Amino acid sequence: MSLLEAKKVIDLPGVDEATTHPSDLGRLIHERYELLNGSNSPDNGGSVYLQAKILSARQVIEDDFVQKYGQTLLPPPPSAAELAAAAAAQNAEDAAAAERKAWEDRERAHQLRVKRNKQRQAMQNEEILNKKRSQGQ
């Protein structure tokens, strides 16, 4: 497969390699590959043939990329700041979920108390009616 054909398969014909930073280009190629490969998975109703063609195209593009830039297409690992931000976001999400659960638990307990009070009140009303009936006879 030629490089031009590989770029068409991965859908990169309009990307300007001269003005795109290599890490951004590598990330873009990697993202396009992941998207196309995943959407053409047999599990998603795709084709093994198309997956093979996409993989072959990625290999051709990666070989060219390594030759030009001396690095692979895989995006660099996240920085410490990105990891810290992701952890903080997850912690905030977890705290919000815990708060929602606590509120739901308090609401359930309140509803249960209300139900018990209504039942208790109904029993008391029935006892009063029974006493009045027994006194009236």
pTM attached to this predicted model: 0.49
CA distance 15 to 69: 16
CA distance 114 to 120: 10
CA distance 1 to 53: 9
CA distance 77 to 28: 15
Go through 71-94 and write b for each residue having 16 or more CB atoms within 10 A of its CB, e for each that does not: eebeeeeeeeeeeeeeeeeeeeee
In angstroms, how far is the first alpha carbon of the chain from the final one? 103
| pLDDT string in tens for the chain (137-residue length) | 998 898 888 887 667 777 777 777 788 888 888 888 888 888 888 888 888 898 888 889 888 888 887 877 765 556 678 778 888 999 999 999 999 999 999 999 999 999 999 999 999 999 999 998 888 76
